[in-house]
Amino acid sequence: MLPAGHICCDIRGRVALPRFLGDADRPWIRLLIDACDQLAGRPLRELEERLRGSLPGAPPDDKRRLVAHVLLAQARSRVCSAVPPHEARALVFTAAARDPVRTSHDVLTRCAADLRVPAEALCEALFADLPGERLALPTASRDPGELALRANLLLAQALLGRAARVSVSLEGNARAVVRHASLRGLICTVSEGAASDGARLEISGPFALFRRTLLYGRALGSLLPVLAWTRRFRLDAECELRGRSATVTLASGDPIFPAEEL
């Protein structure tokens, strides 16, 4: 789930307007993608520091943090060490426990000699499987447009994650949407829409619950990619943003990444 501080929106009165990424953002999104590829083979913690720091040409605001969050969530990595980390820890920690008088340097040197690897390589292997120490791989997606759509979807889902009530009117593929809402355990009532193949859903948001709001918020957010395949939809959500209530409206044509075609 996107942290509250990464939600890009403008609040005007009681209306919240999501600041979706568009074509104008593609050049600096490309810079972030290139930065990821430049750090391929380096520890993930270095990639995180680079993306969350300032980059020439990238906007110093919540939009950049949003894209950085998506890139880090999609980051692929691998463990690379001279000795499997769990074996290195077992050997070194056992040796240190058996002879607590020896310094850590002496223990590493002796264990490295037993394994016939350099002491520095053994030291690096001890924690090579920790998330921040795993080595980054090149980004899976190099298309700034696709990355922008995925970031927009995450933004919209984060807004729904702070909703108390959600109302959805749709036309086309109504049965698939209702089925998805039922399968994900959303608390909702369904009525017929204005069109013959339409429907209207009144859904309780996570802020209307007392517990498991994170899981429920994710379930509610999963409805958005499915709505993208309807002929027309409009979603109105009453959200708690920055300490006050505001209405968020999402509709057909908003640039969000769709689910697989229904």
At 108-134, the pLDDT tens digits run 899 999 899 999 999 999 999 999 999
Residues 248-252, mean pLDDT to the nearest whole number:
95
260 in a structural domain:
no
Q: Are residues 192 and 210 in the same domain?
A: yes
Contact yes or no for 6/158 (Cβ under 8 A): yes
CA dist., res. 192 & res. 107, Å (int): 73
Q: The whole model's pTM is what?
A: 0.84
152 in a structural domain:
no
68 in a structural domain:
yes
Per the structure, the count of domains in the chain is 3
CA dist., res. 220 & res. 166, Å (int): 9
Q: Are residues 110 and 218 in the same domain?
A: no
pLDDT of residue 196: 73
Q: What is the DSSP letter of 43?
A: B
pLDDT of residue 5: 76
Sequential DSSP letters for 68-104:
HHHHHHH--EE---SS-HHHHHHHHHHHHHH-TTS-H
261 in a structural domain:
no
Question: Residue 210's domain spans which residues?
Answer: 162-251
50 in a structural domain:
yes
CATH of the domain at 196: 3.30.70
Residues 68-95, mean pLDDT to the nearest whole number:
90
The b/e string for 110-140 (b: 16+ C-beta within 10 A; e otherwise) is bbbeebebebeebbbbbebbeeebbbbeebe
At 28-79, the pLDDT tens digits run 999 889 888 888 889 999 998 888 887 777 776 888 889 989 998 888 899 9
Name beta bridge partners: 233: 170
Q: Are residues 233 and 215 in the same domain?
A: yes
pLDDT at 13 over 60: yes
Q: Are residues 108 and 194 in the same domain?
A: no
CA dist., res. 64 & res. 19, Å (int): 12
202 in a structural domain:
yes
Any residues with CB less than 8 A from the CB of 180 and at least 6 apart, and which?
A: 222, 223, 226
Q: How far is CA 90 from CA 113, 115, 196, in A?
A: 15, 13, 66
156 in a structural domain:
no
**Using 50, 70 and 90 to split pLDDT, how confident is the model at 261?**
low
pLDDT of residue 85: 93
Q: Are residues 121 and 37 in the same domain?
A: no
Any residues with CB less than 8 A from the CB of 31 and at least 6 apart, and which?
A: 55, 56, 57, 58
Residue 202 is inside which H or E element, if any? strand 198-204
pLDDT at 198 over 90: no
Helix axes 26-38, 62-74, angle to 10 degrees: 40
Q: Are residues 226 and 242 in the same domain?
A: yes
- CA contacts within 13 A on the Cβ side of 27: 5
Q: Are residues 101 and 136 in the same domain?
A: no
